[in-house]
């Protein structure tokens, strides 16, 4: 897995990248009450806003960690946004994307670097 300074995680599954937010992010946000996911087929650029999250504490925007096309979204989050709190790195994923430049992942943190960031 790779991680961003914005508390996103990325997991490679074949030629796709699965994206979500970390447990640290969900603990900072508190209970998530609303998630707006991107449309399948949307082409995104790194740092472009792709997901809107509302929690009991704040509203947050999630940006694209790399360039690519959104190929699948986790539609159960729309009806049950709390999945992101309950299982941030499992069932709480946000979207899957086909990266246009997979080498952008090389610039992201590994788990040890991310843990150092949040400690």
Q: What is the pLDDT of residues 64-84, one digit of tens each?
A: 999 999 999 999 999 999 999
> Are 22 and 9 spatial neighbours (Cβ–Cβ below 8 Å)?
yes
CATH number given to 2-101: 2.40.50.100
Q: What is the pLDDT of residues 13-39, one digit of tens each?
A: 999 999 999 999 999 999 999 999 999
3-state secondary structure of 42: coil
58 pLDDT band (50/70/90 cuts)?
confident
Of residues 97, 92, 104, 108, the one with CA closest to residue 16: 97
């Amino acid at each position: 897995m790779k991680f961003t300074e914005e508390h996103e995680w990325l997991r490679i599954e074949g030629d796709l990248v699965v994206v979500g937010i970390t447990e640290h992010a969900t603990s900072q946000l508190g209970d998530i009450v609303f998630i707006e996911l991107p449309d399948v087929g949307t082409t995104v650029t790194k740092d472009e806003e792709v997901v809107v999250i509302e929690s009991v504490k704040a509203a947050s925007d999630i940006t694209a960690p790399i360039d690519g096309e959104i190929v699948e979204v986790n539609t159960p989050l729309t009806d049950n946004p709390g999945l992101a709190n309950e299982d941030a790195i499992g069932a709480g994923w946000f979207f899957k994307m086909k990266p246009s430049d997979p080498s952008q992942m090389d610039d992201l943190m590994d788990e040890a670097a991310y843990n150092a960031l949040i400690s």
